[in-house]
Amino acid sequence: MAGRPVDAARSLTAALDEIDRAAGSAPSRDRLELRCKTLITLALTEFMLSGVEPALARLVEAEALVDDLGDEALRARLDYQRANIHGRVGDLASAWDGLEGAVRRLDAFTESEQCSVHLSRGMLAFELLRPQEALESFAEAARLAHDLGGAPQEFMARHNEGYAAYLLGDIPRSLAGMARAEELESDVFTGPARLDRAQVLLEAGLVKEAVEALHGGLEALEGEGHDQMRAEFELALARAHRLLGHLDLAASAAASARETYSRIGATAWAAKAMLVGLLVDLDRQRRTRRGRERDGGQCAEGTHPAADLVRQVVGVGDATVALAAAATADELTDTATELGDSELADSARVVAAQALLLAGDPGGANTRLLSLERVSTGSLSDELDAAVVTAMTLVATGDLAPARRILVRASRRLAAGQEGSASLDLRTARAVHGARLSELDLDLAVPRGSASVLEALERWRSATDRLPSLGRPDDEQLAQLTEQLRAVRGHLRGEGDPAQVRELHDHASRLERQIRDRDWALSRSGGASRAVPVRVREAREHLGRVDRDLVWFFRHRGRIGAVGVVGGRATMRDLMPADRAAELAQRIRVDLRAAATHHLGPLAGAVWSSLRASATELDDGLLRPWRTGRGLVVVTCPELSALPWALLPSMAGRPFTVALSLTSFTRRASVRDEASRPASVHVSVGPSVPRASSEARTIVSTWGERARLAEPSRRAELVGALARPGVVHVAAHGTHQVESPLFSSLVLHDGPVFAHELQPTGVGADHVVLSACEVGLTTPRPGHESLGLALSLLSLGARSVVAAVSPVPDDVAATTMTRHHELLASGLPSDEALARAVAETDDVAAAFLNLGGQHHP
């Protein structure tokens, strides 16, 4: 009756009545044993339906029978059920005592039951921070499940192995283990497994995906008897919504979870829900304070005296509200200590410290932090959250140097959490957990000047700008799913019936979810690769050698600021309101998209007038203050992403590269060993691009014997060419998938090539030119990371990529790109070749950007 506690309770109660009626005045030992077993089983259903007190009352009845019978086997079962119930309400110490009693009498259980005992002991051991005992229990559970051949037991064992990996901080291994469990056909209640997977997605930084999984899990909890499980889903939803900044939704979910936990007597879980609610309240305090100061922050050199710095970093909230929150958190610390839950106690102390900081009591906050037991939960997000509060407390007490050291260590911890993953999805997503730390680091850097700001920006960008592990084996399941998606996408292109289109879109979405699941599961395969480290000082010297200046834009206190390296000298400037910059950038993108249609008629003048006015205002605000005429390396912020920079007046005809960071630009300029470098040029074309063939033949003619045209073009050939050094040109339609950027694609003659398909082999090409459509677009993710086809190529190893951030007419694209190759073949670096090619053709060619680094032919 798994998952149907109402039916179970009805049947068990009826069984008790029947036992009592049949027993008479002198019940036999067999009937007493049967009554005891029924009570033990009924206790769990009572808990699920009515809470902990009725459940424990049933166990008291059962214990009296055990004492009378002197039956150690029944005592083992009683201990196990008591442990089960205590564990569900968060009384971990009592739960552990019960489980240890069951383990001492394992012979009382069948092999199948022994597997369950070991699974429960493993999970509780992790909760109590006993990893070695947990691993031993899971190993034994897995062995028993395999020997028994029972699908439900094996599902639980495999899934819990995955969950164990999550608790140890190994996200790829965790997702892989859970994926293996899901491959088993097993008729088990999947509510707990769905919740576990959502928790792992949340820790991985895949917050939107976690929300989707949690809503799906809630919908599956039909009927009565799932109060505890629903509350756990709601608590996880509260945490997810808080990460996304959806504070009203977070508060509602936390309050609902807390009410349910309190009603069923799950004290520790109610405390966890209350803590999330307190954090939401504190977030609202900060948000209100930031709104008041939105236009007050400046990021020019020499601003922010010490008192202002503390106020801006720590904030000042409503003292009454903040002190009340601190008092509540202190009460929860006492509750957690009584329950023996040191992890919960530490979480409550951190919340109390945050509240006291907002109340203007840094000394009290410091006292709470000094009381931390420093429990290692294996959770990167928990670790980084504690680092934020500790650093803020140090700032409030004037200890800026130790605060900065904590931030440096935290950035290294975030970087270490990215290593060994072959999934770009996982790597970019996990940056969300470092967002608050990077903002705090910038707050501390701005008053110290341009050099400190440059170091701070580099520190957090470098934490995620690292090469993923490569060389994972081909996976048949992933290949089959991708082929199915290719076929569905093909049908979509030729389908005109709206109903069929909707059905095909739904099918494609389901396949994309399955592919992402498989990608995450495989992401631990292969050896870890690391980017060659480059120091900021070395990168600044490199700018001088290639005759380029740098402008790195960032958002700070509602303003767009930037740190520039112009003529070798670093300077920081406060430039313009961030909201206005974002508005102008969006207007330019919209107007350029309209202008590219070439069918504007009388509207053309108005569109171009609007576009040029926005470009001039943005140019005046962002670039002219630097007074530099040299080529530029531009590092953007989310407000300025996918901007056609060549349309800004001071950028006309000027070489520039949109880089991921200063050191990233330098690293991509490293010269390969010429003796081992094939001087190859590969050209692929796609169907339905009118000028693709003539464009491709012109490019092959430009490069001569070094070039090869693949027509018709196949996916395998392109993937292979991208894996090798050289130049790769693709004249094919492409799509940028906003919701699932790793499914952005280029369409060749045998179907689309998806960004995720390039992960196993990586990209070794020096220069990749994507001449059609808008595959230079990116989708921003929480944590200031982005994904898209062009960025995927760079993240997988390409040195430079040319791609458009807006549609470009086929004739303009062909003219611009053939000219780009002519100039490139003549010896010009890629940024200069593109700048000249764009300046010599139509204005809409400004959509093309040179991304990543310079390619020197």
User: Of 289, 301, 308, whose CA–CA distance to 561 is shortest?
Assistant: 301
What is the model's pLDDT at position 456? 92
Q: How many CA atoms within 13 Å lie on the side-chain side of 738?
A: 2
Is 378 strand, coil or helix?
coil
> Would you state the torsion angle of the CA atoms of residues 120, 125, 127, 128, taken in this order, to the nearest 10 degrees?
140
What is the model's pLDDT at position 469? 47
What is the model's pLDDT at position 675? 41
Please give the model's pTM, rounded to 2 decimal places: 0.78
Radius of gyration of the chain (CA): 30
User: Of 119, 114, 75, whose CA–CA distance to 98 is shortest?
Assistant: 75
Is 106 strand, coil or helix?
helix
Please give the structure tokens belonging to residue 406.
């904590």
Tell me how many degrees the CA angle 44-48-49 measures, rounded to the nearest 5.
115
First-residue to last-residue Cα distance in the chain:
69
- List all residues 6 or more positions away from 38 whose beta carbon is below 8 Å from its beta carbon: 12, 15, 16, 19
Phi, psi of 71 (to 5 degrees): -100, 110
**583-587, long-range: CB < 8 A, 24+ apart:** 584/614, 584/617, 584/618, 585/618, 585/639, 585/640, 585/641, 585/643, 587/611, 587/614
Is residue 177 a contact partner of residue 161, using CB atoms and an 8 Å limit?
yes
Quick: pLDDT tens for 441-494: 999 999 899 999 999 999 888 776 655 444 555 677 777 887 888 787 777 766
CA dist., res. 562 & res. 626, Å (int): 10
CA dist., res. 215 & res. 115, Å (int): 31
CA dist., res. 132 & res. 143, Å (int): 17
Q: What is the maximal distance between C-alpha atoms in the chain? A: 106
User: Of 554, 546, 605, whose CA–CA distance to 578 is shortest?
Assistant: 554
Low-confidence ranges of the chain (pLDDT < 70): 1-3, 23-26, 131-132, 135, 150, 167-169, 223-224, 287-317, 374-378, 417-431, 464-474, 493-495, 520-533, 598-601, 670-679, 736-742, 774-788
Is residue 775 a contact partner of residue 788, using CB atoms and an 8 Å limit?
yes
- List all residues 6 or more positions away from 92 whose beta carbon is below 8 Å from its beta carbon: 86, 124, 127, 128, 268, 339, 340, 341
Phi, psi of 561 (to 5 degrees): -115, 175
| Cα→Cα distances 496→489, 687, 733, 748, 773, Å | 13, 19, 20, 22, 22
Q: Is the peptide bond before 27 cis (omega within 30 degrees of 0)?
A: no
What is the model's pLDDT at position 611? 93
Quick: pLDDT tens for 40-98: 888 888 888 888 888 888 889 888 888 888 888 888 888 888 888 888 888 888 899 88
User: Of 231, 315, 210, whose CA–CA distance to 273 is shortest?
Assistant: 231
